Structure 1
Amino acid sequence: MKSLALVVLLLLMMTPVVRAAADVVPLPADKQGFGTARSAASPVWFTLGHQGLSEIFFPDLSTPATRETRLLVDGKPGQAYTEPADDRSLTFRQRLRGDGWQAEITYVTDPQRAAVLADVALTARRPVRITVDHVPMKGASEVVSTLPTEPVRHARGTFAVGFGDGVGQAALDRGFRVVAREYARGWHAYLDGLRRPKSADPKLYDMSVMVLAATEDKTNPGASIASPSFPWAFGFDRELAPELGPYALVWPRDLYHVSTAMIAAGDRAFAGRALDFMLQRQQQPDGHLPQNTKVDGTPFWKSVQLDETAAPLLLAWQLDRRDKSTVDAMRKAADYLLSYPNAPFSEQERWENQSGYSPATIASVVAGLVCFADLLQRNGEDAGKYLKAADEWQSEVESWTATSTGPYAPKPYYLRLTKDGNPDAATKYNLGDNNPADIDQRAVVDPSFLELVRLGVKRADDPVIRNTVEVVDQQLKEQGYWHRFTQDGYGETKDGGPWNVPNPVRTYGRLWPLLTGERGEYELLIDQKASAAKRLREIAATANNGRMLPEQVWGGRGTTSATPLAWTHAQYVRLAWSLDAGRPVERPDVVANRY
């Protein structure tokens, strides 16, 4: 066996990372693996694509520093099959096959420094030449060493991608086995400190919890990104996404869902850090939280989504946080909700491309105000104005958003949203995302209305809720999964081409597994536990070979949408614990008891 020792040293030293230029395009977003060490001393994260390492993030999770690093044999890559190499750590193995050769590569990061290590074993039927193809993001790094070797039939060794002078070599000097053992021990110790539900697949559950933990930035505690991927136009359209966003950003809504999943899993400290990040780093002087931020809290997209401003109010109640600084920050958020023009009208609802009166947004705002009021009252403070607004909005949500004149049923059903608070009006709007024509608001439905039930704002057996379940299933359900809303265009072309806007080619939003999880939580409330358990299995069925859960699926498989999506993994974790408990574990009792 000849030695294969490859060192790719990225000499960043003390210079800042420069984000990608237009001529460096990220790889497809359906990542097959995602890993990092548990330790803060290693601020580097790797992703795995279909041919090897895809983007590596350094020095934080909003900064992709490399595009790809692949093993080439006679100048060509192999096709990789990715799988976990250890069920209880984010150690991944890829089996590559090419013309007359095969290789096995195992990936970890060095817990003591910013370096990714890849252990390689190669066998070929003929002598082959081995090289490493490394593509940094333009301006982010410099490759000072790659390795063409003399032709070999067998090779075993390690290569490293290190950030900083001598970092890669220092990781290699420790040896892959030593580093990999330390890396695995960190994740094993983390899982040993948590619980596991009876209802979940243990391997997928452990992977989901580790993925959620790995999405937290190490320099900015509490900042958890939506996904370490850049789907479709967000990877190649520099006008739309000049800095390769927006999934590698922190969205208060996604952070809330991840945090409630982590509370259920037993990692309350994660949720506490997330709440602090929301209120100390994301909250703006007027009290609202922006649409999303970088991991350092800098606003990126700045539209107002009222459900995201309500998110810390809900999370604080889950954590019973009533200290003065937290309450003072929450008061600013609650007062912003009350003072917002025409509230609970929102500039954007949770799918982000429309303004209006949304059942889902109203549910979050009402529940958030009631939760905040409860915290105030337990501190001995008056909460009358918050409860008054919550009660008024709860009583009006049907009149604002449930139509009796729509095309799908003679009985009232909830709409995705109304533009004017008049659900019986034939008001038209354009859905965006390459939809060619305007559509009557009464013809657009959305499973998100179930936020009203999950957050305790409406009863599960409410007749309008039941009517809407039937309508949504008729219009949006396919094979146990749901579309986001009628004629959703955020997805791929018919032949699988990427989404972009503007785009003369029609694009189609596919099916979202996280909505399957939300349906399962609703089914627990109407005493359909068997159906809820089936929903958990349906989410699990969308995992790829690396156990990454996607944003969207089509034909039973994940698309090239954002994968892993933290929200999907969070929904899997939370539904599993809800099944064990027999009720949705995130549902705030104080809201349900009031309404």
Structure 2
Amino acid sequence: MTDSTSLPPGAPGIAPTWMSSDKDYVTTALGGSSRVWATLGHGILNEVYWPSTGQPQVRDLNFYLVRADAQARHDWIDLKRVARYHVSTPKPYLPLPTVLHHGDDYELTLEVLPDPRRDVLLIRFALAGPYRLVVLLSPHLTATGEGNAGWVEGEVLLARRGNRALALTASVPLEMASAGYVGTSDGWQDLHQHGRLTWQYGRAENGNVALTAQLSGQAGLLALGFAESVQGARGLALSSIAEGDDAARRDFLASWETWGSTLKLSGPTKALTDQAILSATVLKIHEDRAYPGALVASLSVPWGNSTDTLGGYHLVWPRDATLAAFALLAADQREDARRVLAGFLANQQPDGHWTQNYYPDGQVFWNGVQLDETAFPVLLAAKLREEGETELTGTGQMVRRALAFVARTGPTSPQDRWEENRGVNPFTLSVAIAALVAGAGWLEEGERRYALDLADDWNERLEGLCYVTGTPLSRQLGVSGYYVRLAPPDRDGDLTGQVELQNRQGETILASALVSLDYSYLTRLGLRSAHDQRILDTNAVVDHLLKVETPSGPLYHRYNNDGYGEHEDGSPYDGHGIGRLWPLLSGERGHLALQAGLDPLPFLHAMHRCASVGGLLPEQVWDSASIPERGLFPGRPSGSAMPLLWAHSEFLKLLIARETGRPAELLRVVEERYAGGLPAQARHWRFSAPVAQLDPGRTLIIEGEQPFLLHLGFDGWQQPEDRQALALPFGLWGVVFSSSELEGFHTLNFTRHTASGWEGQDHEIRLGQAAPAASIEHQPR
């Protein structure tokens, strides 16, 4: 036995990682002062977040069984690796998980309870069989496994890094307590080498540390406390142990019962109803209490067992948070949705957009710009207004700033919804159009007219930007055409060229051959009918290229040749890989079926069958032959994010829409405007969305984000003249041509001069009646 004062070998330990994102369950307390979120995976405790959903402080808390009279080597059980367990809760909306591990001669019950009164996680344990329970805690304080210090102090295991500290203690004595370095002197290494605990190192400094102890009793209570100081964490853990867990359990269940009893959800089967209730509960669990209204995308780190990266998915993505808010509204959880909007009000950037993602406190993580993430909060504000909710202070200013950004920078987005490519995307563009219409009611008269006029133009030009006909794929499948995932339009306005496939090491694909379910929001938001032949044809293309029939049911890839997923051998995504199947896309395909008058039940069943043993829905599931040693099986969760709020939101919305017949995101004001195919009165020429052909009777507006001089001529630069751009709404500048002044000409030729000089290229717009849309073939050049 090593002396407790000696230093453990192996500093600073192996390179730290997080746990796999393949989780069983998540939980937190409602009400009270607790700010702890716990996740479970593989039957043990995974990341624990404190004091916010954006800050994981623990990698895992492992449990091992050591035979009480063990003298022989390896007479111990690693419960995570054995993986014979069951997870249960009292009700789908009562997130008090009990994990039951069982073997031939043992049974271990673990109940995981966040203390509502304190920043403490309580774990009730009961062990039957000839074993002792060993715990191994891996702190990742300040969200990293580097630079942690851990030590033993009497009956308490302690750790600290910076202004974050934790303490683990128990209601029974701790035996053989030790602090070591992961990979060399931790408790697992001790068990692996000796079959029992033999080391008792007192302290491990500045490294990837692990704390280990054996519990002297067969039943009792563990308390894991968090504070900004070691003294605080120790005091919280000890006081929770002193009070016991009866009162904490009673208060925990009472708060969740009060909330859950308001859920009025009903599905075609009990299993689907329970999944819907659990999905609403998962959304509720993910709301931050330090920063109410902040909904992180997932309490997980995708492929976390291969990285120690900051961020993970425990960040607020405005898109994911808005879609979760729509799901909460559909479930009649209005106050929750209002808080999400309040969070958007607090974190909007001065120019009107929201950043790609940010921590719950508003601190920016990634600075990318996705136009849909600026438009979505507007749709949420409009939905709350449509539902008769009292308007939050500042909503009008928020909407105006957001629409100004959309109007100035659209229809092209620097990133699509998959955060990868620049261009015009049918999902992004449909959200932007709907926001311009839904948010117009907050605008002044001149801005309102402009916003609606721009929305009408973009809506009418959607097919010209994002729809192809006469391609080899369309001929192969016998369809007229289909919507593409992404259109990188060139200066002539045609859909041409190559799209770089992110995560595929520089591979490219023809824009006309790249498809996805991104078009599904054209019907979801009321811009197109689900019976439109273009939608039906694209359904056929998507089902042919992206759908995979799995043991769970029909599931879909994001797009053909996706690279965001595990490698062929099942090893984790590491910047490139092979994209796997996304259950949330079955929800999108189910919405398309619903709006076409079909029953989306097969898609609901498929999503449900993808869930973890605790009912969590993953970001991706495996789509190849089974690799048991990696835990990968067709139609079952991979190592990507789980739970994914977006997936739970989509399931919940689809189940409710099946009952109501109407998608949650479908706003009456948008539906009514485009139900009859409202024609646009003007064309808005922009460099990112040029106008190739102007039909008679339409106004033409040539626009830019800064003042410019327009040098123009007709029919090959005849009758040249210069016109100075005038100020338009939202900080834009433009030259307006009425339909009458363009009559009699065949082409308009122009170029522009700005403060930085001539732009260096000429543009041409054909004037007159265009050929019918069905006969236009967009072919790659």
Q: SS state of the match for residue 190, structure 1?
A: helix
Q: SS state of the match for residue 366, structure 2?
A: coil
1:558 aligns to 2:621 (yes or no): no
1:224 aligns to 2:229 (yes or no): no
Work out the percentage of aligned pairs sharing the same amino acid: 33
CA distance in 2, matches of 1:420, 1:223: 36
Find the counterpart in structure 2 of residue 86 from structure 1.
90
Find the counterpart in structure 2 of residue 39 from structure 1.
31
Find the counterpart in structure 1 of residue 120 from structure 2.
115
CA distance in 1, matches of 2:117, 2:328: 26
Find the counterpart in structure 1 of residue 165 from structure 2.
141
- Report the Cα offset of residue 77 of structure 1: 2.7
Find the counterpart in structure 1 of residue 697 from structure 2.
none
Q: SS state of the match for residue 553, structure 1?
A: coil
CA distance in 2, matches of 1:440, 1:237: 33
CA distance in 2, matches of 1:359, 1:429: 15
1:489 aligns to 2:559 (yes or no): no
Which amino acid letter does the alignment assign opposite residue 393 of structure 1?
Answer: W
CA distance in 1, matches of 2:514, 2:486: 8
- Report the Cα offset of residue 376 of structure 1: 4.4
Find the counterpart in structure 1 of residue 734 from structure 2.
none
Find the counterpart in structure 2 of residue 542 from structure 1.
610
Which amino acid letter does the alignment assign opposite residue 222 of structure 1?
Answer: G
Find the counterpart in structure 2 of residue 205 from structure 1.
276
Q: SS state of the match for residue 133, structure 1?
A: strand
Q: How does 1:454-469 map to 2 (within 5 A)?
A: 454-469=524-539
CA distance in 2, matches of 1:48, 1:192: 25
Which amino acid letter does the alignment assign opposite residue 592 of structure 2?
Answer: Y
Q: How does 1:275-354 map to 2 (within 5 A)?
A: 275-281=341-347, 283-320=348-385, 322=391, 325-340=394-409, 343-354=410-421
- Report the Cα offset of residue 96 of structure 1: 2.2
Query: Structure 1 stretches of 5 or more lacking a match?
Result: 1-20
CA distance in 1, matches of 2:375, 2:243: 48
Q: Is the 8 A contact 1:347 1:354 kept in 2?
A: yes
- Report the Cα offset of residue 407 of structure 1: 2.8
Which of 474, 498, 503 is residue 409 of structure 1 equivalent to? Answer: 474
1:228-253 Cα offsets, whole Å, 9 max, x none, are 00012x66445xx4x2x131000000
- Report the Cα offset of residue 425 of structure 1: 4.8
Which amino acid letter does the alignment assign opposite residue 299 of structure 1?
Answer: V
- Cα distance change on mapping 1:456 and 1:580 into 2, 3 Å: same
Q: Is the 8 A contact 1:222 1:274 kept in 2?
A: yes
- Cα distance change on mapping 1:368 and 1:417 into 2, 3 Å: same
1:441 aligns to 2:475 (yes or no): no
Looking at both structures, which has the greater relative contact order when contacts are Cα pairs under 8 Å and sequence separation is at least 6? 1
Q: Is the 8 A contact 2:288 2:360 kept in 1?
A: yes
CA distance in 1, matches of 2:132, 2:379: 58
1:272-316 Cα offsets, whole Å, 9 max, x none, are 1111111222x1001111100100111111111000000111000
Find the counterpart in structure 2 of residue 161 from structure 1.
224
- Cα distance change on mapping 1:169 and 1:143 into 2, 3 Å: closer
Which amino acid letter does the alignment assign opposite residue 361 of structure 2?
Answer: D
Which amino acid letter does the alignment assign opposite residue 350 of structure 1?
Answer: R
CA distance in 2, matches of 1:58, 1:144: 15
CA distance in 2, matches of 1:39, 1:236: 35
- Cα distance change on mapping 1:199 and 1:578 into 2, 3 Å: farther
Q: Is the 8 A contact 1:262 1:268 kept in 2?
A: yes
- Report the Cα offset of residue 181 of structure 1: 2.3
Q: SS state of the match for residue 165, structure 2?
A: coil
CA distance in 2, matches of 1:312, 1:333: 8
- Cα distance change on mapping 1:339 and 1:203 into 2, 3 Å: same
Which amino acid letter does the alignment assign opposite residue 574 of structure 2?
Answer: N
1:398-451 Cα offsets, whole Å, 9 max, x none, are 101111243310422111001126796551132121355221111110011111
Find the counterpart in structure 1 of residue 54 from structure 2.
62
- Cα distance change on mapping 1:327 and 1:235 into 2, 3 Å: farther
Q: How does 1:352-363 map to 2 (within 5 A)?
A: 352-363=419-430
Which of 321, 332, 335 is residue 266 of structure 1 equivalent to? Answer: 332
CA distance in 2, matches of 1:25, 1:99: 33
Paired residues in the alignment total: 558
Find the counterpart in structure 2 of residue 429 from structure 1.
499
Q: SS state of the match for residue 395, structure 2?
A: helix
Find the counterpart in structure 2 of residue 177 from structure 1.
246
CA distance in 1, matches of 2:245, 2:391: 47
Query: Structure 2 stretches of 5 or more lacking a match?
Result: 1-12, 67-75, 141-147, 149-160, 177-196, 198-213, 623-633, 675-781
1:544-568 Cα offsets, whole Å, 9 max, x none, are 1111111111212111211111111
TM-score under structure 1 normalisation?
0.89
CA distance in 2, matches of 1:569, 1:381: 40
Which amino acid letter does the alignment assign opposite residue 188 of structure 1?
Answer: E
- Report the Cα offset of residue 194 of structure 1: 2.7
- Report the Cα offset of residue 76 of structure 1: 4.6
- Report the Cα offset of residue 524 of structure 1: 1.6
- Cα distance change on mapping 1:196 and 1:432 into 2, 3 Å: same
Moved more, 153-162 or 570-579: 153-162
1:253 aligns to 2:332 (yes or no): no
Which of 577, 592, 595 is residue 522 of structure 1 equivalent to? Answer: 592
CA distance in 2, matches of 1:468, 1:455: 17
Find the counterpart in structure 1 of residue 256 from structure 2.
187
The root-mean-square deviation of aligned C-alpha atoms, in Å, is 2.4
Moved more, 139-148 or 464-473: 139-148
Q: Is the 8 A contact 1:406 1:424 kept in 2?
A: no
Which amino acid letter does the alignment assign opposite residue 64 of structure 1?
Answer: P
CA distance in 1, matches of 2:424, 2:268: 36
- Report the Cα offset of residue 144 of structure 1: 6.6
Which amino acid letter does the alignment assign opposite residue 368 of structure 1?
Answer: A
- Report the Cα offset of residue 534 of structure 1: 2.0
CA distance in 1, matches of 2:497, 2:473: 16
1:454-480 Cα offsets, whole Å, 9 max, x none, are 011112122211111111110001121
CA distance in 1, matches of 2:288, 2:392: 25
Find the counterpart in structure 2 of residue 509 from structure 1.
579
CA distance in 2, matches of 1:260, 1:496: 35
Q: Is the 8 A contact 1:82 1:92 kept in 2?
A: no
- Report the Cα offset of residue 259 of structure 1: 0.2
Which amino acid letter does the alignment assign opposite residue 548 of structure 1?
Answer: L
Find the counterpart in structure 2 of residue 5 from structure 1.
none
1:367-422 Cα offsets, whole Å, 9 max, x none, are 01100014548xx8861011011001001111011112433104221110011267
- Cα distance change on mapping 1:267 and 1:550 into 2, 3 Å: same
Q: SS state of the match for residue 141, structure 1?
A: strand
